[in-house]
Amino acid sequence: MFPTRAAARTRSRLLAVLSTAVVAGGLVAVAPTAPASAAGSFVVSQGQFNQMFPGRNSFYTYQGLVDALRAYPGFTTTGNVAVRKREAAAFLANVSHETGGLRYVVEQNRANYPHYCDSSQPYGCPAGQAAYYGRGPLQLSWNFNYKAVGDALHLDLLHNPYQVERDAAVSWETGLWFWNSQRGAGTMTAHDAMVNGKGFGETIRSINGDLECNGKNPGERNDRIDLYKKFVGILGTGVGGGSLSC
């Protein structure tokens, strides 16, 4: 995940995560219609969250997600209730796909760990060459991504990337950072895609479009779509307009 600098490098990492997970145990300037999350009324209840992730790792707490929402107040608060629920379902469907249903906190293929240090960056890899492996709900990887998200969240993740696997709120915040502020392989952020009715398919394009869109890897793409359909059903709404696929 997080193809913000070198798509080929991040995509090769993501393929490894997806293959091993089966066998291994700047903010968007959109004013929210009503600050639901800030008011403590997230559109996903704890019961619904538990229903979506019945076998999740205990690290991924519901409260950690709710605490992380404060960093991105436009998330699931923009538009009417149906739009808010669709955005929550879309985010959590992609998260579920990336982490095997929130079972995996860190990348399972340890052989990949030394690959995520881009030594051409002026700040280098101060936490160590093998310290920037995939972590969290959208599997943040590469030293330049830890630097970027750390700067956005006012955390020194470049020197201490381990915060992403030790603090549930920080971990969720890294996923929300990408969702709300990064276009990835797409032309818009995943947040913008959902609140502007462009469809779930555009979130796939942003997160992993280089590998899953335009006919590539239909099994991976369809898994995301099936999870989205399941999650909007749990939240009591429909898939909405726009394209489901990419």
Segment 101-119, tens digit of pLDDT: 999 999 999 999 999 999 9
Q: Dihedrals φ, ψ of 212, to 5°?
A: -120, -10
Rounded distance between C-alpha atoms, residue 156 and residue 148, angstroms: 10
| pTM of the shown model | 0.85
Q: How many other CB atoms are there within 10 angstroms of residue 58's CB atom?
A: 8
Task: Please tell me the number of Cα atoms within 13 Å of 84 on its side-chain side.
Answer: 19
Q: Is 98 a catalytic residue?
A: yes
Which among 98, 107, 173, 202 is annotated as catalytic?
Answer: 98
Selection from 142, 202, 203 nearest residue 174 by Cα? 142
pLDDT in tens, 131-158: 999 999 999 999 999 999 999 999 999 9
How many other β-carbons are positioned within 10 Å of the β-carbon of residue 94?
26
**pLDDT digits 0-9 by tens, 18-69:** 333 322 332 222 333 334 444 358 999 999 999 999 999 999 999 999 999 9
CA atoms of 17 and 135, how far apart (whole Å) = 10
Q: How far is CA 55 from CA 43, 51, 60, 107, 139, in A?
A: 21, 9, 11, 18, 18
State pLDDT tens for residues 166-186: 999 999 999 999 999 999 999
135 beta partners: 106, 140
